[in-house]
Structure 1
Amino acid sequence: MSDDDRPEPEDFAEMLRNLLGGQGGLAGLDPEQLEQLRGLGLDPAMVQQMMRQLQGAFAAGGDGSIDWSAARTQALHLANKDSHAIDSGVRADLDRAVSLATLWLSEATAISELPAPARAVTRGQWVESTLPVWQELAEPVATSIADALTEAIGTQLPEEMRAAAANAGRIMRTVGGSLFAAQLGSVVGALSLEVISGGDVGIPLMPDGEAALLPQNFADFGRDLEIDEDQLALYVATRELAHARLFRHARWLRLHVISQVTEFARGLRVDTDALEDMATRFDPSSPEELRDALQSGALLDTRSEAQVAALARLENLLATIEGWVDVVTADATHRLPDAHRIAEAVRRRRAVGGPAERAMGSLVGLELRPRRLREAAAMWRAVTDAVGATARDSLWDYPDLMPTAEDIDDPAALVERLQARERGESPARDAMDDALDALLAEATDERPGDGAGGDDDLPPEGPRPV
């Protein structure tokens, strides 16, 4: 395109006003303006779909915030496609399983019961309950990608037109964010076809104090196991109740988990080279390439050292939680003949993850699978055998009592501390204690002596001179 044929910035701004102002979309452009769009390498017919999105964003205010309604719409569309109402007989069977699981669980843990029993939910109800948490976890990544997409597409415009298009930048950001939200909805909707309970993914998705079972899904899960449905329902209900009880008891734990996930997500960086390369051939009417790149994680840059460290902390935290749930569930369901087989199937399922869970990992750059689950479960088993359930569960009372990664590596040291505490003995000193004492002693030595403000230099009590 020659310089003579290139539209002036004022003309380009007028086209944006026509397109974004809802004046008939492309019909609001005269033939000369349509030809100018072709001169920019944009097919007017191709632009039509993008314009509808832009007009919607413009009508909504176009403040640059991400509209998550696309996530909800897409997730519910997938969740409800093959879903069906829960049969009254199935619901009654689950209610009986939950009642018995509650009694068994109270024998295995000192953590108190939930205020309400676990409820049977459909896939769509699971989406409605958990989507707010998914949005909170995904928002840092969505913001990074939307900002980078806006910048990358902006660099493709001619220099003299960037100022004219500047006001549309926030709207383009909204469109990019909406595309990410739609992808999140697709993944959450697909997850609703896989999860068997509210806490199945391992993070606190359900509202505080709530537990949920998805009978349609765990019936599919148990079909290949050839295990009696009553046993399966009892095991799944016990595990779900244990997970929900823990997060309700340790109210700080929910924020602890979510903050670690979002801390990891905020550190993610977009691969700007890959994004700019995609922006050069971006087709707004056919955004499949961008959609695939979002879902595959191709736009996320290589993890930094800080990201690797944050991921290790998160994996240890999730493993500590899941390990406790495993041990408590095993103790509570020891009466079930096939409890061990079900437990092993659940562990394999958590270790591998389903297709939707893997897609979520690609979308937000995070796989929510505890890699040290067996080691953490072995730690909790050692603690339980040594000091009992009450002392074990007291480790969840405060954040600073919770076992660390070092405790997973060396459960014997944790057991020794707990046994010493039960005997009323002072805990064993370590290098940290010695270093703290040395620091305090040094500070005391540096304090001013006589005549420099010590206690002996305080004026005697009595009336102050006038």
Structure 2
Amino acid sequence: MSDTPFGFGVPPEEPEDGDGKKKDPAGGGQGSGGGPSNPFGGFGALPGMGGAGGDNPFAAMFGAMNPNDLGAAFQQLGQMLSYEGGPVNWDMAKDIARQTVAQGTSDGTKDSSVGAAERSAVEEAVRLADHWLDGVTSLPSGATTSVAWSRAEWVEATLPAWQQLVDPVAERVGTAMGDVLPEEMQAMAGPLIGMMRSMGGAMFGQQIGQAIGVLAGEVVGSTDIGLPLGPVGKAALLPVNIEAFGKDLGVDANEVRLYLALREAAHQRLFAHVPWLRSHLFGAVEGYARGITVDTSKLEEAVGGLDPSNPEQLQEALQQGMFQPEDTPAQKAALARLETALALVEGWVDAVVHEAAKPRLTSADALRETLRRRRASGGPAEQTFATLVGMHMRPRRLRDASRLWASLTDARGHEGRDGLWEHPDMLPTAQDLDDPDGFVHREHMDFSELDKMLGEAAGKPDLKKKDEQGDTDADGTDSDGTDSEGGK
């Protein structure tokens, strides 16, 4: 899989099916061979880049398309070139995501409207989950409402968060693309640069739209990737995906729903009552974007040697990594900060949910391990996030973080454990995750010392000491009846 944003550079690895054959990551949907809404036929790192057939408007210009579709292709191309918005064409992204969702997933599951019974079941599950969580965390409920979403509703509701995550990265890459021209040529190439930005916005929109559409077929709530993608205070579950998730587990459907509701409600508590957490996570993504530099030498070489009669040459150049971001110290630092923060979030949720579910759900252990393996195997959420911001979650960090939070519970109780979320400087670091027991022991000792300091600050030991020396009475007055300031 590519470690580059938006899949630039080396194309991502495609998952294999049971026969060892490569399988379309979009489930035969939007990214497969350049479908009707794929304006670039997989432009960039998506499947379908190799040929000039299908519905690729660039291929159409060179006669490899059915003449009956030529007008529609040029109309679509005109819409892309007329785009004048930000670094990502989000209208295109939403359209492609919705169309990807409508085509269903690889297992044949189709999206459907959520019925009244499903909404009621989700509301009851979230209500019960919040009740259970009251006994295992000092953070109060963070969900003011609970909703059941279809996949299409998930797309609509999470787009604002995706925009906040992706725009900084796309903006930086787009700027680098414009900077590839020599300075003396940039003034004369205004229209060309504008066209490049419009095409770049469409390119990003196409890739992001497909990624979000594929992800919508897998997520079970609004916090699957450890980030608050939905509206504040709204706990959301997707019944159609929950059913697919539990299909082959051999676990009662009500237990599956309750366990996933516990995870969603726990995330909501954390993001609602740790006010700095959202900006901390999203800021790490922006920090990564600021560190992006594009290998313009490859771009200059490719542009200088392009043959206008050979559009496949441009596609090959794109695949060979001319947009490969460099591994700068700024990027590494931002990704390390983001990875650690996400591991702490997921580890806290894992520990809290397990404590709440273990005595109540017979399948708690099995469901916990299933979700851990889902993350460890690089599921769709991780793949999408790695494509968008170039980061892979390390499962070892999640397990270490979960063990650390559980040990803190034993040492300090729920309130002492949750108190570490009061400020980012109080949280464990990446080095602490390497030695969870050492951090817990050190923090427990520091906590005891803090109690001692607070007690001393109250002045009780000093008063007792003075009383023993005969300087003061137990009530704090001098033996002659005056207070310590000399008053009566």
TM-score range, shorter chain: 0.7 to 0.9
Identify which of 341, 344, 358 aligns with 1:317.
341
Structure 2 counterpart of 1:9: none
In the alignment, which residue of structure 1 is the partner of 2:19? none
Q: How many residues align?
A: 380
Residue 52 of structure 1 deviates from its aligned partner by 5.1
1:72-87 map, 5 Å: 72-81=94-103, 82-87=110-115
- 1:276-296 Cα deviation digits (max 9, x unpaired): 4554448799789759958x9
Q: Is 1:92 the counterpart of 2:120 in the alignment?
A: yes
Q: Taking structure 1 as reference, are residues 64 and 114 closer, same or farther at Cα in structure 2, changes over 3 Å only?
A: closer
Among all aligned residue pairs of Structure 1 and Structure 2, give the percentage whose two residues are the same amino acid: 38
Task: Tell me if the contact between 1:297 and 1:364 (Cα under 8 Å) persists in the aligned partners.
Answer: no
Give the match for residue 121 of structure 1. Answer: 149
- Matched residue type, 1:67: N
Query: What is the correspondence of 1:14-413 to structure 2 with a 5 Å cutoff?
Result: 45-46=61-62, 55-56=78-79, 62=84, 65-81=87-103, 82-151=110-179, 164-279=188-303, 280-281=305-306, 290=315, 293=318, 299-334=323-358, 335-355=360-380, 357-368=382-393, 371-408=396-433, 409-413=435-439
1:209 is aligned with what amino acid?
Answer: G
SS in 2 for 1:107: coil
Q: 1:59 to 1:120 in 2, by over 3 A?
A: same
State whether residues 212 and 240 of structure 1, in contact with CA within 8 Å, keep that contact through their aligned partners in structure 2. Answer: yes
SS at 1:119's partner residue? strand
1:38 equivalent in structure 2 = none
Distance change in 2, residues 1:147/1:194 (3 Å): same
How many Å apart are 1:242 and its aligned residue? 0.2
Give the Cα separation in 1 of the matches to 2:126 and 2:219: 18
Who wins on radius of gyration, i.e. which is larger?
1
Asked if 1 retains the 8 angstrom alpha-carbon contact of 2:143 and 2:235, the reply is: no
TM-score (norm 2): 0.69
The answer for the alignment partner of 2:452 in structure 1 is: 425
TM-score, with length taken from structure 1: 0.72
Tell me the secondary structure at the aligned position of residue 261 of structure 2.
helix
- What are the ranges of 5 or more consecutive residues in structure 1 without an aligned counterpart? 1-41, 428-466
Q: Aligned with 2:219: secondary structure?
A: coil
* Structure number with higher helix proportion: 1
Structure 1's 161 and 55: CA in aligned 2 closer, same or farther, altered over 3 A?
Answer: farther
SS at 2:218 equivalent: coil
CA separation in 2, counterparts of 1:418 and 1:150? 54
**Superposed displacement of residue 305, structure 1:** 3.5
* 2:289 partner letter: A
**Are the equivalent residues in 2 in contact too, given 1:202–1:322 (CA < 8 A)?**
yes
Tell me the C-alpha RMSD between the 2 structures.
Answer: 3.4
1:206-255 deviations in Å (ceiling 9; x for gaps): 22222211111121111121111111111000011001110100011000
The question of whether the paired residues in 2 share the 8 Å contact of 1:179 and 1:291 is answered with no
Shift of 1:411: 3.5
Q: Distance in 2 between matches of 1:373 and 1:304?
A: 25
Q: For each residue in 1:352-398, what CA deviation from the matched residue of structure 2 results, as whole angstroms up to 9, or x when unmatched?
A: 22246424413432235554111111111110011111111111122
Residue 114 of structure 1 and its aligned partner are, at CA, apart by: 2.5
